[in-house]
Structure 1
Amino acid sequence: MFTLGRVYRDGVTLHIVNSGVNLYNHMRNNHERLIGVRGFERASGGVIAEKLVRYLTSTDGVFYLGANKIATTQQDTSPTGPPDILTRWYHDAGGNWVSNTGIEGASAAGQISNEHYDTPTGLADIGVARYGVFWLFIHFDGDLHVVYGIGTYKLALAEMALVPILPDAVRDFSTLAAKIIVG
């Protein structure tokens, strides 16, 4: 015996829901449901730490994307590491997203900047006695991506800052791993 649906009678009105088991493509439908409800979900690892001044590491991680188990490898953006790439995201003068894996300002390729924050028309200087916020994401393939925050803050406001609007490559293909505040 198995359910085909559900019916509720309210006087002369019937409320019908086809809620039975639909075995056609059940595994794919379940996978899509898991993605829609749970997204890219961390099971273990993927822990972010600072290795040297503003250089980052992440541990091996186990994540699930729907029903698929994904293992990510450790990353080390420091000069003493492999070094792995840290992709930065911010806007250019035209308001377009820019991804940069090179040196930004005085910050080496794998280092979080302590000089700039994002504006709709490019990078601006973090003010004196102010803090910048950066959002670190682990891409589904294990790479680290950092999105520049959109303000120069006093510490209390930096702590309350929310994730800004994200570029598609980050929004659609990664999970938030850390909020980084630098001053």
Structure 2
Amino acid sequence: MFTLGRVYRDGVTLHIVNSGVNLYNHMRNNHERLIGVRGFERASGGVIAEKLVRYLTSTDGVFYLGANKIATTQQDTSPTGPPDILTRWYHDAGGNWVSNTGIEGASAAGQISNEHYDTPTGLADIGVARYGVFWLFIHFDGDLHVVYGIGTYKLALAEMALVPILPDAVRDFSTLAAKIIVGQADPNFTSIVTAYEP
């Protein structure tokens, strides 16, 4: 027996929905449904930690993109690691997204800045006794990408900051892994808050 649809009668009015079993291309339809509903979903790993002075590590991870299992490898952006690449995202003076894998200000490649935050017209200095917020994403292929936050905050406001508008390469091809807060000129992170459900 196959369900073809569902009908609800409200007096003389019939409400009909074609919701029966459609076996044609069932696997693809189910895969697309999983992507639409669940996106890039973490099963395990992909845990972010600080190494040395504002460098990052990420553990091996298992994620699902639709029905496909994707294994990501551990990352280490420090000079004592491979080092793996950290891609930074912020705006230039023309309001365009910039992706930078090299030095930014006094921060070495692979290191989170303790100097700057993002504005629509480029980077600005984090204020004295203020905090910057950085959003760390794991790309589907395992690379680490950080999007600069858009404010110079007191700590309580930094803790409440929300994910800013994202560049397409991050929005469409990654998952949020952590929120990092760092004080102006501080050598280490104030906090790393995981984005994963407990």
TM-score between the two structures when normalised by the length of structure 2? 0.91
Aligned Cα root-mean-square deviation (Å):
0.5
Tell me the distance in 1 between the aligned counterparts of 2:8 and 2:159.
Answer: 50
Q: CA deviation at 1:149?
A: 0.3
SS in 1 for 2:49: strand
CA-to-aligned-CA distance 1:129-164 (integer Å, 9 cap, x gap): 000000000000000000000000000000000000
Partner SS state of residue 79, structure 1? coil
How far the C-alpha of 1:15 sits from its partner, in A, is: 1.1
Q: SS of the counterpart of 1:182?
A: strand
Gap runs ≥5 in structure 2: 184-198
The alpha carbon displacement at 1:9 in A equals 1.6
Output the CA distance in 1 between the equivalents of 2:86 and 2:140.
14
Please give the alpha-carbon distance, in whole angstroms, between the structure 1 residues aligned to 2:100 and 2:7: 57
- The alpha-carbon deviation at position 39 of structure 1 amounts to 0.6
Shift of 1:60: 0.3
Deviation at 1:82, TM superposition (A): 0.1
In structure 2, how many angstroms separate the alpha carbons of the residues matched to 1:113 and 1:156? 20
What does residue range 1-183 of structure 1 map to in structure 2 within 5 Å?
Answer: 1-183=1-183
User: Once the 2 structures are TM-superposed, how far is the Cα of residue 104 of structure 1 from its aligned partner?
Assistant: 0.3
Cα offset for 1:105?
Answer: 0.6
Q: Aligned pair count? A: 183
Moved more, 3-12 or 160-169: 3-12
Distance of 2:129 and 2:74 partners within structure 1:
34
Shift of 1:107: 0.5
User: In 1, distance between residues paired with 2:11 and 2:160?
Assistant: 53
Residue 106 of structure 1 deviates from its aligned partner by 0.8
- TM-score normalised by L of structure 1: 0.99
Question: Cα offset for 1:47?
Answer: 0.4
SS of the equivalent of 2:9 reads strand
The CA deviation at 1:10 is 1.7
State the Cα distance separating 1:2 from its structure 2 match. 1.3
CA displacement, residues 37-74 of structure 1 (integer Å, 9 cap, x when unaligned): 11100000000000111000000000000110000000
Which deviations, in whole Å up to 9, do the C-alpha atoms of 1:94-151 show, x marking residues without a partner?
0000000010011110000000000000000001000000000000000000000000
SS of 2:107's equivalent in the other structure is coil
Q: Separation in 1 of the partners of 2:164 and 2:142? A: 22
Q: Secondary structure at the residue paired with 1:157?
A: helix
